[in-house]
Amino acid sequence: MSLENIAARSGFGSLPTMRHHFRKCLNTSPSSYRKVFVGASLSTVD
């Protein structure tokens, strides 16, 4: 899913607005944050 779609579906109205709040809260950009999880898989709990 693109960052534009995520911003729209999350109610931010625009990608720049989402980036601003994301960086303010998490101290990193959305794309940098996403790179941390590339290739990561969800584990299941038994």
Instruction: Indicate the SS3 state at residue 35.
Output: helix
Statement: residue 11 has pLDDT above 70:
yes
How confident is the model over 30-44, as a mean pLDDT? 77
Statement: residue 16 has pLDDT above 90:
yes
Give the global pTM. 0.62
Statement: residue 45 has pLDDT above 80:
no
Residue 44: its pLDDT value, please? 62
Task: Tell me the residue type at 24.
Answer: K
Distance (Å, rounded) from C-alpha 46 to C-alpha 1?
29
Distances from the Cα of 38 to the Cαs of 17, 20, 32, 33, in angstroms? Answer: 24, 22, 10, 9
Q: How high is the mean pLDDT of the chain?
A: 85
Statement: residue 34 has pLDDT above 80:
yes
